[in-house]
Amino acid sequence: MGNWRERLLLVKPESRVLITYGMLLGVVALHVLRLSHLNNDLIYRHSWGESQYAMMAKAYQQKGFFWGTLQVDFYTAFTNYIPVSSLLAALVSSVLHTDLVITGRSISYIFSLFTALYFYKLAGVIFKDRLKSATALFVFTIIPINLYFSMFFYNEPIHLFFIVLFCYLFIFKQSNGAEKYYYITISAALFFVMVTKPTSVIFCLPLALPYIWQDLKRKQVDYRELSSLLLPVLLVGGVIVLNRVMHPDHFRVESAKLIDHEVLLNVGYYAVRMVKQLSFEFSGFIPLFLIGVCLLHKAPRAVAGFYLTSLCYVMFVILLIKGAVVHQYYSLPFVASFSIIVTFAVFKMTEMFAGAGAKLVLLLVVLAVFSPRIVNVKKAFANEYPKDILEICDLIKKEKGHQRVLALGKGHMIFKYHFDIPSKYAIYEPDSAKLNLVKSYLNTQDFDYVIISNRLKGVNESLRLERYQVIYKKDFTVYKSIQLPEPLPGRSL
């Protein structure tokens, strides 16, 4: 049927409406997919961190609000962020008597829905076109790091919402005038960005800088807006700095993530690790983002601000490279800027064709080629921890006297949450010194159960647990004290 140019002409411009609705339907399907993890199984990606948020929520639920965080017996002041997700989960769970992990994940999911709504509105203000807005939302939703983090019991889904809300409010005001209650709303949005993760301010203020600079040159500065931006930064930033001065030991763990001499001596190693990390987090869209960066000179002012936030992100990753190669949530706030620039690049590429039908075909081809593969989506939702953990938790909870548990190996934080294990009795990978400590604990303490990951080679043999009997053995070996009574009939181990 003719050549390819004639076939492209058969695609009618009206098809953009169907494609727009198709994009939005895809977004809905992805949000439904996220519901697959709406349970209390702490075995998914980053369940280590979720266990920490769950422990903090449990402490707030039991003790009420206090100035700091508590993970069983490990207290830290607010030197970096306030776990708003834990506070909300504790409050909702206390009122509704729901499981803390399910509640925390549900809160994250609800925030992710509102984030999607406001990102669609943000894209509409920037691109002023429904198809472009729907495309931006599709890219934003399907990015692997956003796809899986939006369901997890973390602060990140909450502060991503406030980042997107801030961007929408600010850019809408520049394009259409301030919305009602603009000044107090944008100040509140920036306040919660700072509270939930202060470093994420780099995804907000740089966006405003080009507009503020232009107002300064025109001598038309909106001082109400300027004060609305500075007040939350100074207030929250001042409190965080004060806490760090008063509690320097509590901040030491964050300082260890900064670039140092060891990084400079192994630049290639860290560069490769970071590239692999970003390749998973943002998948095939990275080439489109780089194309968008090359088109900076053609970007409208509403898009240009996101290049500044991208530059700030790169500087942030370099400065905290030792943390960035491990903690994927560092990149989550970047998905808004990333998606806007990718969408801008995609539609600039479609301008290579003159016909409206050809533009639509090219749009679909580009998205099909660069969107994450199904294998990447499956990887994002794959279990990071063995299902044994669920079986072991259920097994031990059926018994009485299960408050004295020693846990060794990957998964220790999950056991720590479930059994309120003191920090010194929950160890990730014991070296020789820590292994000697464990031996002393076993000689001086009476544990009801000892859980050891079988990935720790030789640990089971070196500990010589004569006073314990094996009751479970797969990825973990579970020992039960022989001093404990046998299970009652009908409740076998």
Chain segment 60-70, per-residue pLDDT in tens = 999 988 888 88
CA distance 484 to 240: 47
pLDDT higher than 80, residue 472: yes
| Three-state DSSP class for residue 293 | helix
Domain limits, the chain: 4-380, 388-481
| Three-state DSSP class for residue 39 | coil
Strands 426-427 and 468-473: unpaired
- Pick the more confident residue, 491 or 48: 48
Average pLDDT over residues 176-199: 85
- Pick the more confident residue, 400 or 491: 400
User: Within a 10 A sphere around the Cβ of 233, how many other Cβ atoms?
Assistant: 18
Cα torsion for 138, 296, 156, 368, to the nearest 10°? 30
Element (H, E) at 468: strand 468-473
Distance from CA of residue 288 to its chain's centroid? 23
CA distance 119 to 192: 17
User: Which pTM was predicted?
Assistant: 0.88
- pLDDT tens sequence across 356-384: 666 677 777 777 777 777 777 777 777 88
Grade residue 105 by pLDDT with cuts at 50, 70 and 90: very high
- Residue 493 has a pLDDT of 38
- pLDDT tens sequence across 429-449: 887 888 888 888 888 888 888
On average, the pLDDT of the chain sits at 83
Q: Are 94 and 61 in contact (CB under 8 A)?
A: yes
Strands 405-408 and 449-453: parallel
- pLDDT tens sequence across 347-356: 888 877 656 6
CA distance 447 to 404: 5
**Residue whose structure tokens are 């076993």:** 442
Look up residue 390 and give its amino acid.
Answer: L
CA distance 92 to 97: 8
Percent of the chain with pLDDT over 90: 21
**Residue whose structure tokens are 């010589």:** 464
Give the phi and the psi of residue 3 in degrees, each rounded to 5: -90, 180
Q: Are 132 and 344 in contact (CB under 8 A)?
A: no
* Dihedral sign, Cα of residue 381, residue 383, residue 387, residue 392: negative
- Residue 103 has a pLDDT of 94
Look up residue 421 and give its amino acid.
Answer: I
- Pick the more confident residue, 187 or 181: 187
3-state helix, strand, coil in the chain (%, to 5): 70, 5, 25
Strands 476-481 and 468-473: antiparallel
CA distance 303 to 341: 7
